[in-house]
Amino acid sequence: MILLTRLILGSLLLCVTGLLHARPIDEVVDSGYLTISLYEDYAPYSWQEGDQVLGIDADIARRFADHLGVDIKFLVRGADENVDDDLRNNLWKGDLIHRQSADLMMHVPQDRELAARNNLVALMAPYFMEEMAVVANTAVLPVLETFGRFLNKPIAVEVDTAGDFFLSNAFRGKLHPSIRRGRTFAEVVKLYLAAEVPAAMGSKAQMEWIAHQSSDIASIIVQPPMPGIVRTRWPVGYAVKHDSRDLGYALTDVVSDLISSGEMKKITAQYGVSWTAFE
């Protein structure tokens, strides 16, 4: 019985010590800095150029730090297999090697099922509506009403994304020969800019970003019917540790002000992206 009790207490201790210390808003302000997690290679939302962290999410994050009157530290990391893993690695547990975590993570889907599965974090304040779309070179594809055009035209997509899964299953797999997969979004951009493909698929913001980069290509953004796709649009916001909700709530006013003042539209417009109101 004593051994069993020790085993139970030991297991509980491991669970507790597996959680990283949460920093409520007072501690963040007293420390003088706010650590915010961003995705790498995720233009136009976030990416790095040398020591510079750029993108829509990075600009919004800076507004958060300014509101609190603190400096900002960016924790820029690649995406894991799913958002649940990203929340674990970036917020409540930290990475396996350094156990480093952030106070807040940007660009988290606002989804009830995701929230229910991750009770160690709190999803906060949606600030952007994601949508699926296609960017197309009008010199090759002046009209794009259906994905059937890609039965004989190539289209680029980042591997293992919603767009990749959709294209792989569309028309009973008949588009497979036309799919050009990039290991990263940056590779998809290069394929389009080099005119190796006349179209690419991803989030609408990403496709607008590609069009913004390709000033010598007459591009259009279209959203043909996508039968069978899991979701065509979803809101994104930020997340904090479940016991740092006061920090999360304090920043919801910043999001509201950015939207109501039109500043959010100005931020996204710098990257060629049209801000879409969330529902």
pLDDT tens readout for residues 26-40: 999 999 999 999 999
- Supply the mean pLDDT for the chain: 90
Q: How many CB atoms lie within 10 A of CB 214?
A: 18
Instruction: Answer whether residue 180 shows pLDDT above 80.
Output: yes
Same fold, 17-129+236-269 and 130-222: yes
Q: What is the pTM of this model?
A: 0.89
pLDDT of residue 153: 97
- Say if residues 126 and 246 touch (Cβ distance below 8 Å): no
Measured distance CA(54)–CA(96) in Å, rounded: 26
Angle between helices 56-68 and 245-260 (to 10 degrees): 110
| Among 246, 255, 258, 242, residue whose Cα is nearest residue 29 | 246
Read off the pLDDT of residues 224-255 as tens digits, 9 standing for 90 and up. Answer: 999 989 888 999 999 999 999 999 999 999 99
Tell me what percent of the residues of the chain surpass a pLDDT of 90.
82
Flag whether pLDDT at 6 surpasses 60: no
Residue 146 is encoded by which pair of tokens? 């259906």
Whether the Cβ atoms of residue 55 and residue 46 lie closer than 8 Å to each other? yes
- 130-222: CATH architecture: 3-Layer(aba) Sandwich (3.40)
Rounded alpha-carbon distances, angstroms, from residue 237 to 36, 52, 108, 204, 243: 13, 23, 5, 16, 18
Asked whether the predicted pLDDT for residue 120 surpasses 90, the reply is: yes
Instruction: Name the pLDDT band for 20 (thresholds 50, 70, 90).
Output: low
Decide the pairing of beta strands 179-182 and 219-222.
Answer: unpaired
Fold assignment, 17-129+236-269: D-Maltodextrin-Binding Protein; domain 2 (3.40.190)
Q: Which residue ranges make up each domain of the chain?
A: 17-129+236-269, 130-222
